[in-house]
Amino acid sequence: MEEKKKLIVLIGPTAVGKTNLSIKLAHRFNCEVISGDSMQIYRKMDIGTAKIHIDEMDGIKHHLIDIKDPDESFSAAEFQQLVREKIEEIHFRGRTPMIVGGTGLYIQSVLYDYQFTEAPGDDLFRKQLEHKAEVEGYLVLHNELKGIDPTSADNIHPNNVRRVIRALEIYHTTGKTMSEYQSRQKAELLYDVALIGLTMERDRLYERINQRVELMVSNGLIEEVCSLYESGLRDVQSIQAIGYKELYEYFNGKATLEDAIENLKQNSRRYAKRQLTWFRNKMDVNWFDMTDEESRQKNFHGISDFIAGKLALKSNK
């Protein structure tokens, strides 16, 4: 029986401090980092996705960043394939892969024998739903899904119209819900995984999120989104990302700049809450607190010891 490949996975809500810790761990365990963020794949979307800068990488090789143009689509199935290929490549080079991010379904699809449904599509039905969302609003579709498949509705944000439509399409073409397909997935891990989650006291996390948004704005977020808007980018997956959809409302004249920024903060806080709930319900995570400097220092050593013990890896002290 083939030995499972070793893999470090670092997850947690937005603004909890994954990036800084990942660089320290990568140096300690001879890692290459694979981004586990569904939006950092897009070029020209740097500030709003909190994309790591090249100087912050500190010589650590990163993968799955800037691999798509903003008008291209990207799916969990494509992510699964690309990440598994990268894991093989990194091991071939004698290094340890480390996935870092907060997009739960994407990361779960890599770790487990997760089979994406082969349910057929229906172009006409999909176009009808797209038109319905445009005319009546995306909440109409989400409420429709809630009546058919409440489990999937709870796991898919109403703003993620593409996934809501896909869930409705699966039911339309097969008579089975998306959650029925997902419940059949095997729970066995495909890798020898050290699964680490970062958490923080709620008030402190929300304070960091608000500060991060203000820093993004001062660093040019409005100009970044304006450039995408003026390029004619509309109705694509990338601009549904938090940080972009709110400012599109401003550029479309549907919100003041002040309201758009406040909505961005609020949506980011809500997203962080959903991330924590998702990870706690879906994965067997080893949690470490990052609330203050003392906790971060203490738990860096705790995380390092956990990885070394779990994966029998030697660390570079």
Q: What is the pLDDT of residues 262-297, one digit of tens each?
A: 999 999 999 999 999 989 988 889 999 999 999 999
Least reliable range by pLDDT among 58-62, 87-91, 118-122, 144-148: 118-122
**Does domain 123-184 correspond to CATH entry 3.40.50.720?**
no
N residues, the chain: 317
Q: To 10 degrees, what angle do helices 257-282 and 202-218 make?
A: 140
Q: What's the average model confidence in pLDDT over 147-162?
A: 81
Q: How far apart are CA 272 and CA 104, in angstroms?
A: 11
Asked if 57 and 75 touch (Cβ cutoff 8 Å), the reply is: no
How many Cα atoms occupy the beta-carbon half-sphere of 143 within 13 Å? Answer: 7
Per-residue pLDDT tens over the stretch 168-202: 988 888 888 887 876 666 568 999 999 999 999 99
Mean pLDDT for the chain overall: 91
Which residue numbers belong to the known binding site?
12-19
Q: What is the pLDDT of residue 310?
A: 94
Check whether 159 has a pLDDT greater than 80.
Answer: no
Q: Count other Cβ atoms within 10 Å, centred on residue 2.
A: 4
Q: What is the pLDDT of residue 127?
A: 87
Question: Measuring CA to CA, which residue among 91, 112, 87 is closest to residue 99?
Answer: 87
Question: Is residue 123 within a helix (H) or strand (E), and if so which, with residue range?
Answer: helix 123-136
Of the candidate CATH numbers 3.30.450.90, 2.40.30.130, 3.40.50.300, 3.40.50.460, the domain formed by 6-114+187-311 belongs to 3.40.50.300
Check whether 62 has a pLDDT greater than 90.
Answer: yes
**Domain spans in the chain, listed from the N-terminal domain onward:** 6-114+187-311, 123-184
Please state, in angstroms and as integers, the Cα–Cα distance from residue 266 to each residue in 123, 138, 261, following that order: 35, 19, 9
Which residue numbers belong to the known binding site for substrate?
14-19
Q: How far apart are CA 203 and CA 200, in angstroms?
A: 8
Buried b (16+ CB within 10 A) or exposed e, 136-147: eebeebbebbbe
The token duo for 130 is 């797209």
Task: Give the neighbor-by-neighbor strand order of the sheet with 62-63.
Answer: 62-63, 31-35, 96-101, 6-11, 192-199, 286-289
Check whether 317 has a pLDDT greater than 70.
Answer: no
Which residue numbers belong to the known binding site for ATP?
12-19
Q: What's the average model confidence in pLDDT over 21-31?
A: 97
Q: What is the pLDDT of residue 272?
A: 95
Check whether 52 has a pLDDT greater than 90.
Answer: yes
Check whether 309 has a pLDDT greater than 90.
Answer: yes
Per-residue pLDDT tens over the stretch 85-132: 999 999 999 999 999 999 988 999 899 887 766 666 778 888 888 888
pTM of the predicted model as reported, rounded to 2 decimal places: 0.84
Q: Dihedral (C-alpha) 253, 259, 262, 263: value to the nearest 10 degrees?
A: -50
Question: Measuring CA to CA, which residue among 120, 119, 237 is closest to residue 178?
Answer: 119
Least reliable range by pLDDT among 14-23, 69-78, 204-213: 69-78
Check whether 46 has a pLDDT greater than 70.
Answer: yes
